[in-house]
Amino acid sequence: MQPWQELSTDPNDPQIMERRKVALSGAMSTRLIDDRVAYLCACVAGKSLLDIGVVEHSIEAAQSDRWLHGNLRKHAASCLGVDVLESAVKALQSRGYDVLLADVTREPLPRKFDVIVGGEVLEHIDAPGAFMKNCATMLNPGGKLIITVPNPWFINAVIKSGTSKQPFVDSADHVAWYDASTLYELGQRYGLLLSRYSGIATNGGPRSLGAKVLFGLQPMWIALGASPLMFSKSIIFEFTTADQAA
């Protein structure tokens, strides 16, 4: 987990670029995750958990059997949720959920956790460094930070960006795109090593005829050398603490 600055003053030095590619290749999973919720539940099973961004935009999300926090709390040994939406947090508290009104980009909670999950959170916040720093502070030795973010190289987004006469908009409240290299660097600055990242399979939902053909031929494209991540709208990134990476 040697910072590139210890090897060169130039971040584009060929040696630095090659080392980064090797590190990312070693962390990349070539298999897509079929079920995001089930995978994350397995990651937190029997662990103390902090779930960041539990509201998922509105309180109505809690009515779905796919609500991430509702599923995670069934598998974790202990589960605390946080969010910045006050009215929704109060509503969840009234229903018996262990959730707090807190902004972890401002300061860490005075607690430690085995696992921290931030599902589709990082792309919404304007202080990603503070987020990573405070999450690292709240992890137990050997702990893990797991975040999911939209994939900027998702083939649907790439095609729409390159062919439409209108600018592509993924979501009006997103402030950034992240890929494996930017997150590797961001994590390393705060003592977190990107140990694994995996694409989430894009299943179900209405599709145009062209999209059905494109995704229907997915096995062929992969066999021809295309990355499976091209067919993933979101990616799961898993970070370990420096003491575990050492």
Read off the pLDDT of residues 44-61 as tens digits, 9 standing for 90 and up: 999 999 999 999 988 999
Establish if 51 belongs to a structural domain.
Answer: yes
pLDDT at position 81 is 98
Q: Cα separation of 164 and 226, whole Å?
A: 23
Per-residue confidence band for 148, with pLDDT thresholds at 50, 70 and 90: very high
Q: Is the pLDDT of residue 142 over 50?
A: yes
Tokens of 169: 């908009």
Per-residue confidence band for 207, with pLDDT thresholds at 50, 70 and 90: low
Return the CATH number at 99.
3.40.50.150
Whether 147 contacts 200, CB under 8 Å: no
Q: pLDDT above 70 covers what percent of the chain?
A: 96
Residues spanned by the domain of 161: 12-245
Q: How far is CA 185 from CA 13, 57, 166, 182, 233, in A?
A: 15, 28, 32, 5, 22
pLDDT at position 101 is 98
Chain centroid, CA 34 distance in Å: 15
pTM score of the predicted model? 0.92
Establish if 5 belongs to a structural domain.
Answer: no
Establish if 155 belongs to a structural domain.
Answer: yes
Q: Cα separation of 149 and 121, whole Å?
A: 7
Establish if 191 belongs to a structural domain.
Answer: yes
Which amino acid, one-letter code, is at 180?
A
Establish if 1 belongs to a structural domain.
Answer: no
Establish if 208 belongs to a structural domain.
Answer: yes
Average pLDDT for 71-85:
97
Most distant pair of Cα atoms in the chain: their distance: 56
Establish if 7 belongs to a structural domain.
Answer: no
Q: Cα separation of 215 and 226, whole Å?
A: 12
Q: Is the pLDDT of residue 159 over 90?
A: no
Radius of gyration of the chain (CA): 19
Whether 125 contacts 132, CB under 8 Å: no
230 or 195, which is more confident:
195
Establish if 228 belongs to a structural domain.
Answer: yes
pLDDT at position 227 is 87
pLDDT at position 246 is 46
Task: From 90, 79, 94, 105, select the one nearest 55 (Cα to Cα).
Answer: 90
pLDDT at position 24 is 96
Q: Cα separation of 170 and 205, whole Å?
A: 16
pLDDT at position 243 is 66
| Total structural domains within the chain | 1
pLDDT at position 206 is 53
Report the range of poorest mean pLDDT among 132-146, 177-191, 201-215: 201-215
Q: Cα separation of 182 and 53, whole Å?
A: 22
Average pLDDT for 92-98:
97
Average pLDDT for 18-22:
95
CA angle 197/142/147 to nearest 5° reads 30
Per-residue confidence band for 116, with pLDDT thresholds at 50, 70 and 90: very high
